[in-house]
Amino acid sequence: MKESIERAKKYITEKVEITPEIGLILGSGLGFVADDIENAVLLEYTEIPDFPHSTAPGHEGKLVFGKLKGKNVVALKGRFHLYEGWNPETIKFVIYVLKSLGVKKLLITNAAGAINKSYNPGEIIIVKDLINFQFKNPLKGQNLEEYGPRFPDMSSAVDLEWASKLKEKVRKLREGVYIAVLGPSYETPAEIKAFRKLGADLVGMSTVPEVIVANHCGIKCLVLSCVTNMAAGVLETPLSHQEVMEVAKKVKEEFSKIVFHALEVL
Ligand SMILES: O=P(O)(O)O[C@@H]1C[C@H](O)[C@@H](CO)O1
Ligand SMILES: Nc1nc2[nH]cnc2c(=O)[nH]1
C-alpha cells in the first residue's frame, strides 16, 4: 500500500500546487459543494495512479483542489462505498492519500434516511456518534504504524469541539447518531425499528469507514448528514435513490451555507 500511496501522491503533487488542509467528502447528490471552490484544479479519479473510481450514481469521481472560505481544500466529488464491491482497505488507501497530501481535518457529508421521526426531509443534522453495522473494518490487515496505531480509540470519533463551534453559528442544527449498513438495498421497516432501539437517528451506507481511518491517522472529522428521506416504514412511500438525489439538490443553498460556516469556524 505504501508504494501506491506514494505513486498517487506524486501524481497529484505534480499537478496541484496547493497543500490542502481540509478534505471534504461529498455524499450522494451533494457534489455541488465543490462548485464553489475558487481557483479549482480538477483531477479525475481515473487519471490518478492506483486510485479507485466512482461507480455510484450521484458520485462524479473527481478530486477538486482550491480555496473555499479562505481555506485550502480538496473535495472528493464522489466517495467509495463497500456495496460497490470495494474492499474496506480501499477506503483506508484514499484517506491515507489525503493524509499524505497534508489534510488535517475532514468534513464528511452524506445523504441519510431519518430513523428519528422528529427529523424532516431536507434537514441537515450534525452526527455526534456512529454505529458500525457494516461489520467490516477498513483497518484490518497489516498496520502502517507511521499512519496510526493498531488499536485506535473511537471514544471521540467525531470532533465535538468543531461541531459545537458550528452549532454556535447555526443554532437550529440538531445532532444525531448515524448507523452505517452495507447496502445497497434499503432497510426493511423491522430493521429500522431495531436500529431505533439501538439508539440510531440516521441510517446510511457510508461515512463510518472514513471516520474510522481518519480517527486512526489523527485527522479530525465533522460529519453532516442531509436527511433525504424518512427511513423505511416511517411513511408509506417506497424509498428510491432518485428521491435521495432530488432532495439533496433541493437543499443545495442551505447545505452549502452550512458547509461554509463549518469552514469559517475553524
Ligand atoms: O454516499 P452517501 O452515503 O451520501 O449516499 C447514500 C448511501 C447510498 O450511496 C445512497 C442511497 O440512496 O445514498
Ligand atoms: N441505508 C440507507 N441509506 C440511505 N441514504 C439515503 N437514504 C437512505 C436510507 O434510508 N437508508
Concerning whether 205 is annotated as a catalytic residue, the answer is: yes
| 204 pocket-lining for ligand 1 (C-beta < 6 Å) | yes
Going by pLDDT thresholds of 50, 70 and 90, the confidence category of residue 3 is very high
Asked whether the whole model's pTM tops 0.95, one would answer: yes
Query: Which residues on neighbouring strands pair with residue 23, listed in sequence order?
Result: 74, 106
Per-residue confidence (pLDDT) for residue 58, from 0 to 100: 76
| Closest ligand 2 atom to Cα of 180 | 1
Q: In the numeric block, which cell numbers belong to residue 108?
A: 464528511
Per-residue confidence (pLDDT) for residue 11, from 0 to 100: 98
24-43: b (≥16 Cβ within 10 Å) or e: bbbbbbbbbbbebbeebebb
Largest Cα–Cα separation, the chain:
52
Best mutation site among 127, 241, 244, 245 for ligand 2 pocket (most ligand atoms within 8 Å of CB): 244
| 31 pocket-lining for ligand 1 (C-beta < 6 Å) | no
The enclosing domain of 64 has a CATH number of: 3.40.50.1580
List the residue whose alpha carbon is closest to atom 7 of ligand 1. Answer: 205
Structural domain harbouring 185: 2-264
From the candidates 8, 114, 200, 205, give the one annotated as an active-site residue: 205
Give 90's contacts (C-beta < 8 A, 6+ positions apart): 52, 80, 138
| 52 pocket-lining for ligand 1 (C-beta < 6 Å) | no
Concerning whether 84 is annotated as a catalytic residue, the answer is: yes
Cβ atoms < 10 Å from Cβ of 62? 20
Q: Where are the alpha helices (DSSP H) in the chain?
A: 2-15, 88-101, 160-169, 189-198, 208-216, 241-250, 252-264
Q: Where are the alpha helices (DSSP H) in 103-240?
A: 160-169, 189-198, 208-216
Concerning whether 225 is annotated as a catalytic residue, the answer is: no
List the residue whose alpha carbon is closest to atom 10 of ligand 2. Answer: 113
Concerning whether 229 is annotated as a catalytic residue, the answer is: yes
| Closest ligand 2 atom to Cα of 183 | 1
The arithmetic mean of pLDDT across residues 254-260, rounded, is: 96
Concerning whether 111 is annotated as a catalytic residue, the answer is: yes
Going by pLDDT thresholds of 50, 70 and 90, the confidence category of residue 22 is very high
The CA 81 to ligand 2 mean position distance, Å, reads 13
The complex's ipTM? 0.99
What secondary structure letter does DSSP report for 134? S
Concerning whether 28 is annotated as a catalytic residue, the answer is: yes
Q: How many domains does the chain divide into? A: 1
Q: What is the gyration radius of the CA atoms in the chain, in angstroms?
A: 17
What secondary structure letter does DSSP report for 127? E
Express each pLDDT in 182-234 by its tens digit: 999 999 999 999 999 999 999 999 999 999 999 999 999 999 999 999 999 99
- Calculate what percentage of the chain has a pLDDT beyond 90: 97
Per-residue confidence (pLDDT) for residue 201, from 0 to 100: 98
Query: Which residues on neighbouring strands pair with residue 179, listed in sequence order?
Result: 131, 203
**Among the ranges given (11-20, 54-63, 177-186, 241-250), the one the predictor scored with the smallest mean pLDDT:** 54-63
| Residues 40 and 69: beta-carbon distance below 8 Å | no
- Calculate what percentage of the chain has a pLDDT beyond 70: 100
Express each pLDDT in 154-184 by its tens digit: 999 999 999 999 999 999 999 999 999 999 9
Backbone angles phi, psi at 36, to 5 degrees: -90, 0
From the candidates 54, 116, 215, 229, give the one annotated as an active-site residue: 229
| Residues 200 and 178: beta-carbon distance below 8 Å | yes
What type of residue is 120? N
Going by pLDDT thresholds of 50, 70 and 90, the confidence category of residue 57 is confident
List the residue whose alpha carbon is closest to atom 5 of ligand 1. Answer: 28
| Residues 216 and 101: beta-carbon distance below 8 Å | no
Distance from C-alpha of 96 to C-alpha of 246, rounded to nearest angstrom: 32
**Helix, strand, or coil here: 112?**
strand
| Residues 224 and 125: beta-carbon distance below 8 Å | yes
Express each pLDDT in 108-143 by its tens digit: 999 999 999 999 999 999 999 999 999 999 999 999
Is pLDDT above 90 for 24? yes
Express each pLDDT in 71-107 by its tens digit: 999 999 999 999 999 999 999 999 999 999 999 999 9
